[in-house]
Chains A and B, each alone.
Chain A
Amino acid sequence: MKSLRTLLGTWVVALFAASCTFDGDRYPQSSVHPTSDFAEMIHGLYVDIFWWTLGILVVVWAVLAYILVRFRARPDQPIPKQIHGHMGLEIGWTVLPALIVVAITIPTIQAVFSTQTANLEESLVIDVIGHQYWWEFRYPDTGMVTANEVHIPVGQQVSFRLSSADVIHSFWVPMLGGKRDANPVRVRPEGLDPEYNWIHLTANETGTFWGQCAEFCGDSHSLMGFRVVVESPEEFDAWQAQLAEPVVAPEVAAAEGDSIATPVQVADVDPLVEEGRTIFHQQTCVACHAIQGTNAQGEIAPNLTLLGQRSSIAAGWLENTPENLERWITAPQDIKPGVLMPGVNVAGGNWPATNLTEDQVRAVAAYLYSLR
């Protein structure tokens, strides 16, 4: 038992060390490095309960250790005194734990209520829609849409309205707070509002925070990450404005004879990008993907507006580089099993293989990377 206790003791010390001294950069998905009011409230509660439970554990283990040493059977020991019980002790060790759980329960219930109520008038509402295996974010106020990387302003209350397009997912950004399930929206009789789950929080630090689906949702559940970019209100407004009028060359709309396109700024004229642009907008890509300001208006797959700005692709799984984009376009199912996107040689969802050549893949990747 001694060596076991030493080992466990070391780990408990390590637990302290880890929860007190690590930095957020080392654990980008840490639940013990709060950066919002919601996360701080949970963390405060956790720390309180941690001390209570650690105290109980230390007492139990210390008494147990004493018993095991002190009451070890000795040779020729007579039969020990036969004690059947003690009412006072029973009452004592019933009441004492009861008081401790009351001490834990009261702040818990306070936190339950305070984290689940918010004034939506003061909130920036963002729709979060889980899909197998990516995240869609919609800003109802501006009509803007993005995927897998959501921007929010620091110091402003944000209310995430959670739902799912298919199965149950769970929206979890540990540094910004606890998770909540994104349930498929139940069809209800007329007159009844649809039911949503909400997360309300006010971020108090800028930075990019990692999130991940926390409810098992199928083949690629493990690869269903996302990022939350917390930025200053000015940066946030600029980003929203850029989303509305992204950098896309006008000839795309002209070439397609499409009336959806809005007036846009002229992008760079790298011929590779131009080739990729042509391929993307003439192929089946546009059936599922949308790029603001172009003929691509599909809603089944992630919105690719300003894709080049995102830090990651494939729902937080790959760093956003032209090489990774090429890998993804070539064989998405090799990276993310069960994904609906077709690859160069494999069909996906309802779509046949794209049959793009290597050069064409490079061109499409260059085009997508140029959307910034």
Chain B
Amino acid sequence: MSVATESAATTHDAHHGEPTGLWSWITTVDHKRIGIMYFLTSIFFLLVGGLEALLIRIQLFKPENDFISAELYNQLFTMHGTTMIFLVAMPMAVAFFNYVVPLQIGARDVAFPRLNALSYWIYLFGGLYLNASWFVGQAPNTSWVGYANLTSTQFSPGLNVDFWVLGLSILGVSSIMGGVNFITTIINLRAPGMKLMRMPLFTWMTFVTSFLLITALPVIAVALIMLAFDRFFSANFFNVAAGADPVLWQHLFWIFGHPEVYILVLPAFGVISDVIPAFSRKPLFGYPVVVYAGVLIGFIGWGVWSHHMFTSGMGPIADSFFVATTMIIAIPTGVKIFNWMATMWGGAIRFTTAMNFAVGLVALFTVGGLSGVMHASAPVDLQQHDSYFVVAHFHYVIVGGILLGMFSGLYYWFPKVTGRYLSEKAGAWHFWTTMIGFNLTFFPMHFSGMFGMPRRTWTYQSELGVQLYNQMSTVGGFILGISTLIMLYNVLKSAKSGAPAGSNAWGAPSLEWSIPSPPHHYNFPALPEVRSREPMWHDDERAAIEAVTLAHPAKEPEMPGPSFWPIVVASGVTATWALVMTGVWWVPLIGLAYTTFGVFMWAFEDPFKHLESSH
């Protein structure tokens, strides 16, 4: 491994000093490996959440069906929502943050590599803990928004809500740490010349999203802790009989929940803001406007939460305020759509799978955005709220927006990660089955909702006349399931035998395409100097950068060593929360002691010890 083999055709250099094997992955602090683990874990949970969705769709295939029981159905839709939001959409974006952001800004790693590992392991353990509820038959069953007072011990005496409260608390820890890490990374670790207004849009949107993470997650954390106190220590935060406001939970949840929507969607916007210019061979149209629109969405996203609560009885003045703010946020979102289209205008568009998904996002997110304008009108929302119309709306946003964006990113950066292209043929199948399956599933839901089918219902009466629409949705759901399997096949097959990709697999403009595919574990042998927004598209700048980034250094840069302690601390954090479930006050202290032990060992471990021993 010590001799690097020169290869002009490919950039498959032998990777120096990079350990292999399972243990090296468990103890890794390399942002790229952590990114890959985030991605694979989120795909695993995508399959879990997808399976839950298919069971739901089978149940709803015909009226008055008894394929599954109401109790199980309630657990399935609750876990489907919780899983897709917290265990799939958020971490899949974080997977891309991890892998791509340091490469885009010319950094060797994130600012806090071990904290990064801790984030991942807490996410994994938190997700497994949440799903462990299935094995005791008491999965969360009060929907992903868990409105009080249904979640009180009086109305939900089982372990179901306990799993939900504690599981989400654990996951929140992971997200907040991730946010801190990426803000620090983006502020401090940019390569020379990488001014803020030269950063690729994906990094920009990561930056905005990270601020939302560290500000929005604490709100839900507070709400969850209050609920935990109600449940375990008989507090009265949400006890209406003791004078609690019946809508307090809803306010707390949505003050978190609406920024959460932008936490989910801004990364996808970031992905396609990089993909569309790359495949149109034109710089992003109105770069500063797209950046500011994203920042503005991040800000205004804090002022619209109560549009989820128009039916809760806030009174006409509050209703009007949230109508107005919600209408306003439609504007920067529209501006982004127009700028993406203007980027394509006059370009030379290459329809790769990555580009197809990006265009699919532009087309379908628009549908979700416009139905969002409908609910923004409070009186109209009184009809659409909590009906399948809203289910259609937010799936157009979350699948049509976020998931398509993530798939676009997958096809775009896969060559960077593996050094191989994903198969474009399988990609075309993946894209078209996704489009057909998605629209067939969710478009008819506008009708079932309009004709009065409430969401979160286990079954419906044939008299409602919504059977046809439900059947379309179920068939579409299975096509969507097949599309996911095609994607999985493509990833597994292409990782082994895909066509080899060079350092700049697509002729794209940003810095991550200047280094070998896959990158060295230290990313950049020396830091390149950036002089523009599209460094790889200006011949002299590219030559100067590649002279640095493709060079073989005599001595490899020193990177922090692997550590076992993040996984110990992560398991300790998870165990501490999980032990709260016992309801005995001192039992969680055992977990806390174990966590503290891990933290001490971590703190006193020399991160560069491995270098001394190998020299």
Contact = CB atoms under 8 A, between A and B. Distances in A.
Interface string B552-579: 0000000000000000000000000000
Nearest to B69: A337
B285 A84 contact: yes
Contacts of B527: none
Contacts of A337: 69-71
Contact of B341 (A45, A63, A219): A63
Interface residues of B, number: 100
Nearest to A32: B450
A216 interface: yes
Contact of B386 (A116, A185, A215): A215
B491 to A, nearest CB: 24
Contacts of B241: 184, 187
Given A71-B344, A93-B338, A112-B379, A80 B246 contact: no
B596 interface: no
Interface residues of A, number: 103
Contact of A4 (B285, B324, B439): B439
A179 B289 contact: no
A168 interface: yes
Contacts of A93: 334-335, 338
A39 to B, nearest CB: 8
B70 A219 contact: yes
Contact of B142 (A30, A183, A216): A216
B381 to A, nearest CB: 8
Nearest to B248: A186
Contacts of B354: none
B341 A168 contact: no
Nearest to A72: B349
B311 A49 contact: no
A186 B246 contact: yes
B331 A31 contact: no
Contact of A28 (B142, B323, B324, B463): B463
Interface stretch (B99-107, B166-174, B267-275, B365-373): B365-373
A85 B456 contact: no
Interface string B264-285: 0000000000000000111101
Given A73-B350, A181-B312, A46 B243 contact: no
B506 interface: no
Interface stretch (A102-110, A231-239, A280-288, A347-355): A102-110
Interface stretch (A7-15, A260-268, A296-304): A7-15
A156 interface: no
Contact of A105 (B246, B323, B370, B464): B323
B362 interface: yes
Contact of B344 (A19, A60, A67): A67
A132 B74 CA distance: 15
A174 interface: yes
B385 interface: yes
B282 A112 contact: no
Interface string B574-596: 00000000000000000000000
B311 A73 contact: no
A83 interface: yes
A102 to B, nearest CB: 8
B211 interface: no
Contacts of B597: none
Chain B interface SS verdict (over half): helix
Nearest to B463: A28
Contacts of B69: 337
Nearest to A28: B463
A27 B389 CA distance: 15
Contacts of A317: 461
B516 to A, nearest CB: 25
Contacts of A84: 283, 285-287
A183 B247 contact: yes
Contacts of B384: 31
Contacts of B370: 53, 56-57
B21 interface: no
Nearest to A337: B70
A353 to B, nearest CB: 21
A8 B337 CA distance: 20
A98 interface: yes
A180 interface: yes
Given A115-B379, A218-B155, A179 B149 contact: no
Contacts of A89: 286, 338, 342
A186 B436 CA distance: 48
A226 B460 CA distance: 13
A331 to B, nearest CB: 14
B93 interface: no
B171 to A, nearest CB: 22
B374 interface: yes
A119 to B, nearest CB: 16
Contacts of B373: 49, 52-53, 101, 104
Nearest to B332: A94
A213 B150 contact: no
Interface string A179-220: 111011111110000010110000000000010111111111
A68 interface: yes
A278 to B, nearest CB: 34
A64 B349 CA distance: 12
A37 B306 CA distance: 26
B342 A26 contact: no
Given A15-B447, A71-B344, A337-B70, A184 B149 contact: yes
Contacts of A49: 373-374, 377, 380
Given A30-B452, A214-B387, A222 B348 contact: no
A314 to B, nearest CB: 11
A105 B378 CA distance: 10
A30 B379 contact: no
Contacts of A72: 348-349, 351
Interface in A56-101: 56-57, 60-61, 63-64, 67-68, 71-74, 77, 79-86, 89-90, 93-94, 97-98, 101
Given A64-B341, A116-B315, A168-B149, A81 B346 contact: yes
Given A101-B373, A219-B74, A225-B461, 16 more contacts: A15-B446, A29-B453, A30-B452, A46-B380, A49-B374, A49-B380, A80-B347, A97-B335, A108-B376, A183-B313, A198-B313, A212-B452, A215-B147, A216-B147, A220-B70, A337-B69
10 contacts: A4-B436, A14-B447, A19-B450, A49-B374, A53-B374, A67-B345, A80-B281, A101-B373, A168-B149, A219-B71
Question: Nearest 5 pairs between A and B by C-beta?
Answer: A178-B382, A29-B452, A197-B313, A222-B457, A73-B348
